[in-house]
Amino acid sequence: MASFRQNDVRNPHFQLPLRFGGINGGAFMNEQDSGEDITDCVKAIIAFPVETREDMPEFGIPDLLFQNYSPVVVAQVRSAIEQWEVRAVFDVDSDFNLTDPAIWGLLISAGVSDHG
């Protein structure tokens, strides 16, 4: 991941996680609509369970804590990413084995759409 300062990009968007650094302590940025920007936006979607943002309670994915695996939950995650980040081309993979059968996970791969 490249690290750019605000004056290094034409249309700056904050990198996620939000971080500051360097001599002047400026925020690190992504170029708007770059692959990094879109990937960070997908990260933001999956970081917020629905109803956790006061300013936009409908934003995010269903709360997955203590959820049993279900194709319905995977479909809800797909739907949330499609709704909130139309620029992304992505895949949600739930078909991989973890060492503990009581734990399930999602592997989300995101990229840039040709027709954003």
Instruction: Say if residue 83's pLDDT is above 70.
Output: yes
Q: Could you tell me if 48 and 65 are in contact, meaning their C-beta atoms sit under 8 angstroms apart? A: no
pLDDT band at 101 (very low <50, low <70, confident <90, very high): low
Count of domains forming the chain: 1
Range of the domain at 67: 33-112
Torsion sign (Cα): 29, 81, 110, 33: negative
Instruction: For residue 115, give the amino acid letter.
Output: H
> At 76, which CATH number?
3.10.450.40
**Can you give the pLDDT at residue 59?**
96
Instruction: For residue 65, give the amino acid letter.
Output: L
Q: In whole angstroms, what is the distance from residue 24 CA to residue 10 CA?
A: 19
63 SS3 class: coil
**Can you give the pLDDT at residue 6?**
56
Residue 7 lies in a domain: no
Residue with tokens 């925020």: 27
Mean pLDDT, range 68-81, rounded to an integer: 86
